[in-house]
């Protein structure tokens, strides 16, 4: 096993960022150890400041995975965008693949993704949400990239970074992932790559990744809060290119904010069962993150700063937000 930069000659570099992934990384590495392709490849594990046994787990696979290396990215801890960028900078190949440490590939994933990267500079695999989430009480039917690339925003399609491939020249053309994002860095990345290079991203149905959903109300809430916060920044950046704010977003409109808060208050009974509880916390997190993002980025529906919005609409919304905050306190 090697560390740091490399003088290897390989065709593909597989980059996996890790933060306290000791409980799941071993399974992913065991699956990768059974993957075989004709072209030489390497695996770059990027440690993003782990404090558990992540590095020890990685080291046990040094003799089972070809050219396994560990790269340190702890200087900016818990930043997955920074970790991926660090991994690409250390990678030896011009064909880059990304995997996360808490998911699991299906057999043949590496060969299918590597083959797709030979003809397309930006590709995403098929994602399965069933195998690792059998006890997940909420619906999984709306999760992205199950039968094609995600495009729910009605703008450009994108590949989720947990199972994505890209040419290095495209990565370099946009300066890598933007570490400003908490959660939606892959959407931003793919959109910027498309706008900069004109590439049409490809879907690779022969490559399946089993995705692990967040299993507790707290984790669902935190993930969704990041989603809402990042969406405000996403809109600010891509509104000039034709990206329209989703109709359900409360950002930029006190009337929409009040409507979503009223809906969540009215659906508090969902907290009484497992399935409903996760759905409620998902949208509660999205709402809280959206309002925080609006406060930080302050963009209205025209892309202009709306931080100074005043009037009766804002006062009514603020009253509703106070009521929503009380419901949140009761639910905790």
Query: How do residues 235-256 score in pLDDT, each as one tens digit?
Result: 989 999 999 888 888 877 777 7
Give the rounded percent of residues in the chain with a pLDDT score beyond 70: 85
Indicate the pLDDT class of residue 136, thresholds 50, 70 and 90: low
What is the reported pLDDT for 254?
75
Among the residue ranges 188-192, 229-233, 309-313, the one predicted with the least confidence is: 309-313
Cα(40)–Cα(19) distance, integer angstroms: 27
Write a three-state SS string for 213-274: CCCCHHHHHHHHHHHHHHHHHHHHHHHHHCCCCCCCCCCCCHHHHHHHHHHHHHCHHHHHCH
Q: Where do the domains of the chain lie, and which CATH numbers do they carry?
A: 2-210 (3.90.550.10), 217-331 (no CATH)
Q: pTM, whole model, 2 decimals?
A: 0.88
pLDDT over 50 at 133, yes or no: yes
Of 110, 210, 123, 117, the residue nearest 158 (C-alpha): 123
According to DSSP, the residues that pair with 106 across neighbouring strands are none
Mean pLDDT to the nearest integer, 165-176: 98
Indicate the pLDDT class of residue 100, thresholds 50, 70 and 90: very high
With residue 69 as reference, give the H or E element that holds it.
strand 68-72
Write the pLDDT tens digit of every residue in 255-291.
Answer: 778 888 888 888 888 888 777 888 888 888 888 888 8
pLDDT over 70 at 222, yes or no: yes
Cα(324)–Cα(318) distance, integer angstroms: 10
């Amino acid at each position: 096993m090697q560390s740091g930069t490399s003088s290897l000659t390989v065709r593909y570099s597989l980059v996996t960022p890790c933060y306290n992934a000791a409980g799941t990384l071993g399974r992913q590495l065991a699956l990768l150890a059974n993957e075989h392709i004709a072209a030489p490849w390497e695996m770059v594990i990027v440690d993003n400041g782990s404090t558990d046994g992540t590095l020890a787990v990685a080291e046990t696979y040094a003799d089972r995975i070809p050219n396994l290396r560990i790269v340190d990215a702890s200087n900016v801890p818990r930043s997955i965008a920074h970790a991926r960028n660090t991994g690409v900078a250390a990678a030896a190949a011009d064909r880059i693949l990304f995997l996360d440490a808490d998911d699991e590939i299906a057999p043949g994933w590496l060969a299918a993704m590597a083959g797709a990267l030979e003809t397309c500079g930006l590709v995403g695999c098929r994602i399965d949400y069933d195998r690792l989430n059998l006890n997940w009480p909420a619906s999984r039917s709306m999760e992205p990239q199950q039968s094609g690339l995600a495009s729910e925003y009605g703008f450009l399609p994108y590949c989720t970074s947990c199972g994505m491939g890209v040419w290095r020249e495209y990565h370099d053309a946009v300066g890598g992932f933007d570490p400003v994002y908490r959660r939606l860095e892959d959407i931003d990345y793919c959109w910027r790559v498309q706008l900069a290079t004109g590439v049409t991203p490809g879907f690779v149905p022969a490559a399946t990744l089993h995705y692990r959903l967040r299993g507790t109300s707290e984790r669902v809430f935190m993930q969704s809060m990041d989603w809402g916060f990042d969406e405000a920044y996403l809109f600010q950046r891509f509104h000039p290119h034709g990206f329209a704010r989703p109709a359900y977003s409360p950002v930029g409109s006190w009337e929409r904010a009040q409507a979503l808060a009223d809906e969540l208050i009215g659906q508090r009974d969902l907290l009484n069962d497992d399935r409903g509880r996760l759905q409620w916390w998902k949208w509660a997190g999205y709402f809280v993150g959206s309002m925080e993002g609006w406060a930080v980025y302050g963009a209205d529906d025209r892309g202009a700063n709306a931080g100074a919005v005043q009037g009766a609409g804002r006062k009514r919304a603020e009253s509703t937000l106070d009521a929503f905050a009380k419901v949140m306190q009761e639910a905790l």
